Amino acid sequence: MIITADTNVIFSALYSNKGASHLIVKMIIDEKIKLAVSPQVYFEYYAVLMRKENLQLLNLSVKEVENFLDL
């Protein structure tokens, strides 16, 4: 199955290790489903996750978010 995940799904998965969003991202990482991402979607993920307030909420560094997006 190939999906495109909305930005709020990615954010929610990084925010909490519970719930459907986390399960979806885990399935992507485990290669059980494939993520289809256009450059526009990728840059939306990047822009939202890199907001200072979101980095603080997620308790992640810029490098950690970049590493996640590289997956």
**Residue range of the domain that includes 58:** 2-70
**Per the confidence metrics, is the pTM higher than 0.85?**
yes
Structural domains in the chain (count): 1
What digits encode the pLDDT tens for the residues 3-60? 999 999 999 999 999 999 999 999 999 999 999 999 999 999 999 999 999 999 999 9
Confidence of residue 71 (pLDDT cuts 50, 70, 90): confident
Token pair of 11, please? 């954010």
Say how far apart CA 69 and CA 47 lie, in whole Å.
Answer: 11
Q: What's the rounded Cα separation, in Å, for the pair 61 and 1?
A: 31
Of the candidates 36, 37, 41, 45, which has an alpha carbon nearest to the alpha carbon of residue 10?
45
DSSP label of 50: T
Q: Which two tokens stand for residue 69?
A: 């997006």
